[in-house]
């Protein structure tokens, strides 16, 4: 039952009206620790030392001055964006080490504006920003209320006050689930594994982005990532498409197989799961209707340049160069020796990761802006480099690394020791119906050498062919690196293991075992180290720790080398090479051969 009050109850307070007010000395609100600090550091500039009386401690969760751990802070600026009073300004600090995934800036707080709401703390992506129980600050300059908080407030440790917890956290740290094909369903076919976001799920994932832009600095082509993610949230597919094509000519491909360095640098990933940036990019490309592309194509990009450029090779480098040259106004012809354009995208990456439909959509757009594709034409055979030099103002070489590297061990030259880039193009031809299953020689037992993405592409493709041909799979993968050091992406390792690939990591191949002219297995020694003290590749092995793994075929995926046979000797004599690459200047121009550029 509620307590009843008289209507005259409030009048009793008038008795204090004529009483003399009691004044509490300013110094009484400080603790002993703070008083020592004030005296030692002379924050209150007076002739006398400040003396303490009636010490008082701030209450729990008191929202006093801010602290910021500079070592943890990534400079994302979310605190500045959310501040309702515009009290926070990000200030560049070049004395902070420039690191990937961080910006060289830290927040400055104007306590003349700050309302101590703590929203900045609740949205901090790294949990570096907190509020202390230090809630009194005095200075003789009335304008000295703009401070750059550090881990220590004014140089000394303070008690924590308001700290973000689960209830107050404004960040969504869990990624929206992406549907995948199950291991049992996918290992017997080349169906694309990742199904892609629906509109609803894409918008939910886009809503997690804080638009800090740190991801852009980690992207090799500096894509406008926050802009196109915001476009998804606003259901503006056309706006997102325009943002993407400003920096990326192959977004359908990159939305599936790029290395997504942006996600490693994502501010949300500091405490949670990174924004699915790659999949959101894919969502825009997959969702954009053809008439939207046509609308963009109708808009001229630049003036026409009276010059012609030949591009040799239609892989990512060649197509990228062709795209940018064309939008700059040049006339561009791309020469490709194979019947289909796309290079390693078309003939190297399996369809379960990158279907032809995605490649076609990207290349169709490049063709529609005016780039001419000349297929089934090998430079050096069907047309000479001298002819290209004569007919074009410049020539760009983007032929890539397609030749397999040899093992250099006993038995390594056997016909059943097969290079990755010999096998993978056959797989792609089977996927698109050019070859039949019986046209591909796949044994019942296979060993793959290598630890990168290509090695897993080979192993997982072989698994699928074995399942289709024999109804079961037997694929082993060995690498110099231990499992936790594999250069492959996490997706490849996780999905490959799900599909039954057996790993023999941390071992080096020593001999291909052959009996009656047939491969029977691979001899391995335990790998002690891969590089020497100078960083050069020089693996060392423990001969006493040996094992032999059985296999009827050995597939090599230890890297590829370039094919420069199409370049005439007269021109090769003018070129310089470094680890298989043609040396060039900052903009890809070859020295002493001003008409030649390389990628």
Segment 509-552, tens digit of pLDDT: 999 999 999 999 999 999 999 998 888 889 999 999 999 999 99
Which pair of tokens denotes residue 445? 């037992």
pLDDT interval class at 6 (50, 70, 90) = low
- At residue 61, the pLDDT reads 66
Contact indicator for 497, 503 with CB cutoff of 8 Å: yes
> What is the rounded average pLDDT of the residues 421-443?
95
H or E element, residue 333: strand 331-335
- The helix/strand/coil state of 194 is strand
What ranges make up the beta strands (E) of 125-245?
129-131, 146-147
Among residues 130, 124, 126, 111, the alpha carbon closest in space to that of 78 is found at 124
pLDDT exceeds cutoff 90 at 4: no
Among residues 281, 169, 184, the alpha carbon closest in space to that of 225 is found at 281
Q: What distances in angstroms separate CA 511 from CA 220, 383, 507, 555, one per listed residue?
A: 39, 42, 12, 13
- At residue 23, the pLDDT reads 64
- Terminal Cα distance for the chain, rounded: 84
> What is the rounded average pLDDT of the residues 431-449?
96
User: What residues contact residue 536 under an 8 Å CB cut-off, 6+ apart?
Assistant: none
* 13 DSSP 8-state letter: G
Q: What percent of the chain has pLDDT over 90?
A: 73
pLDDT interval class at 10 (50, 70, 90) = low
- At residue 500, the pLDDT reads 96
- At residue 578, the pLDDT reads 85
- Domains belonging to the chain, first-starting first, are 183-289 (1.10.1060.10), 308-400+568-598 (3.50.50.60), 407-561 (3.50.50.60)
Tell me the per-residue pLDDT of 303-326, one tens digit each, with 9 for 90 and over.
789 999 999 999 999 999 999 999
d(CA 423, CA 430): 11
- At residue 53, the pLDDT reads 38
Which pair of tokens denotes residue 299? 């808009």
User: What residues contact residue 562 under an 8 Å CB cut-off, 6+ apart?
Assistant: 399, 400, 401, 402, 403, 580, 581
**Confidence (pTM):** 0.85
User: What residues contact residue 564 under an 8 Å CB cut-off, 6+ apart?
Assistant: 399, 572, 582
- At residue 60, the pLDDT reads 67
> What is the rounded average pLDDT of the residues 34-63?
46
- Mean pLDDT (the chain, rounded): 89
pLDDT interval class at 405 (50, 70, 90) = confident
pLDDT interval class at 333 (50, 70, 90) = very high
Q: Is 551 exposed, middle or buried (0-12, 13-18, 19+ CB in 10 A)?
A: buried
Q: Which residue has the higher pLDDT, 230 or 402?
A: 230
pLDDT exceeds cutoff 70 at 354: yes
- The helix/strand/coil state of 349 is coil
d(CA 184, CA 192): 13
Per mean pLDDT, which range of 47-61, 123-137, 266-280, 312-326 is the poorest?
47-61
- At residue 51, the pLDDT reads 41
> What is the rounded average pLDDT of the residues 412-430?
95
> What is the rounded average pLDDT of the residues 332-355?
96
Q: Which residue has the higher pLDDT, 293 or 496?
A: 496
Q: Greatest CA separation found in the chain?
A: 115
Tell me the per-residue pLDDT of 189-229, one tens digit each, with 9 for 90 and over.
999 999 999 999 999 999 999 999 999 999 999 999 999 99
d(CA 597, CA 582): 10
Q: Which residue has the higher pLDDT, 147 or 83?
A: 83
Q: What percent of the chain has pLDDT over 70?
A: 90
pLDDT interval class at 14 (50, 70, 90) = low
pLDDT interval class at 295 (50, 70, 90) = confident
Which pair of tokens denotes residue 140? 């003789």
């Amino acid at each position: 039952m509620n307590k009843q009050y008289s209507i005259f109850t409030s009048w009793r307070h008038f008795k204090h009206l004529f009483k003399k007010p009691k004044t509490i000395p300013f110094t009484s609100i400080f603790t002993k620790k703070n008083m020592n600090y004030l005296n030692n550091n002379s924050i209150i500039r007076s002739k006398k030392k400040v003396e303490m009386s009636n010490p008082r401690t701030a209450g729990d969760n008191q929202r006093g001055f801010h602290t910021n751990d500079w070592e943890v802070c990534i400079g994302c600026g979310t605190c500045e964006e959310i501040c309702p009073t515009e009290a926070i300004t990000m200030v560049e600090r070049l004395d902070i080490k420039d690191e990937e995934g961080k910006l060289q800036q830290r927040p400055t707080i104007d306590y003349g504006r700050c309302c101590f709401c703590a929203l900045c703390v609740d949205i901090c992506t790294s949990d570096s920003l907190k509020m202390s129980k230090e809630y009194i600050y005095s200075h003789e300059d009335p304008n000295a209320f703009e401070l750059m908080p550090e881990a220590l407030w004014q140089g000394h440790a303070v008690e924590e006050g308001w700290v973000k917890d689960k209830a107050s956290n404004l960040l969504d740290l869990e990624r929206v689930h992406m549907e995948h094909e199950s291991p049992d369903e996918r290992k017997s076919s080349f169906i694309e594994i990742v199904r892609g976001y629906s509109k609803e799920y894409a918008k939910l994932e886009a809503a997690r982005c804080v638009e800090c832009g740190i991801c852009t600095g980690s992207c090799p082509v500096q894509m406008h990532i926050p802009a196109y993610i915001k476009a998804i949230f606003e259901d503006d597919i056309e706006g997102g498409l325009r943002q993407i094509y400003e920096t990326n000519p192959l977004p359908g491909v990159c939305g599936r197989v790029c290395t997504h360095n942006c996600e490693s640098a994502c501010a949300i990933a500091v405490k949670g799961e990174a924004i699915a940036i790659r999949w959101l990019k894919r969502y825009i490309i997959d969702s954009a209707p053809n008439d939207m592309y046509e609308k963009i194509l109708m808009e001229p990009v630049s003036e026409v340049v009276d010059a012609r450029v030949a591009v040799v090779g239609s892989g990512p480098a060649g197509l990228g160069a062709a795209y940018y040259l064309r939008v700059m106004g040049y006339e561009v012809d791309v020469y490709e020796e194979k019947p289909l354009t796309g290079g390693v995208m078309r003939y190297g990456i399996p369809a379960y990761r990158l279907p032809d439909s995605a490649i076609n959509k990207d290349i169709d757009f490049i063709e529609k802006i005016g780039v001419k594709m000349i297929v089934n034409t090998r430079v050096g055979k069907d047309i000479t480099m001298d002819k290209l030099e004569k007919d074009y103002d410049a020539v760009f070489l983007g032929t890539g690394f397609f030749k397999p590297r040899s093992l250099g061990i006993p038995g390594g030259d056997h016909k059943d020791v097969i290079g990755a880039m010999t096998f993978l193009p056959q797989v792609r031809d089977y996927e698109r119906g050019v070859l039949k299953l019986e046209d591909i020689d796949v044994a019942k037992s296979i060993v793959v050498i290598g630890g990168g993405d290509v090695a897993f592409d080979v192993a997982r493709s072989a698994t699928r062919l074995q399942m289709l041909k024999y109804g079961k799979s037997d694929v082993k993968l060995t690498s110099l690196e231990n499992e936790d050091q594999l250069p492959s992406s996490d997706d490849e390792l996780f999905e490959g293991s799900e599909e039954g690939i057996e790993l023999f990591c941390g071992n080096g191949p020593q001999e291909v075992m052959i009996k009656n002219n047939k491969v029977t297995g691979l001899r391995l020694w335990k790998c002690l180290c891969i590089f020497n003290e100078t960083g050069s590749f020089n693996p060392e092995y423990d001969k006493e720790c040996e094992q032999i793994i059985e296999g009827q075929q050995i597939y090599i995926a230890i890297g590829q080398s370039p094919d420069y046979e199409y370049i005439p000797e007269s021109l090769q004599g003018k070129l310089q090479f470094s680890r298989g690459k043609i040396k060039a200047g900052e903009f890809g121009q070859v020295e002493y051969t001003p008409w030649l550029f390389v990628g």
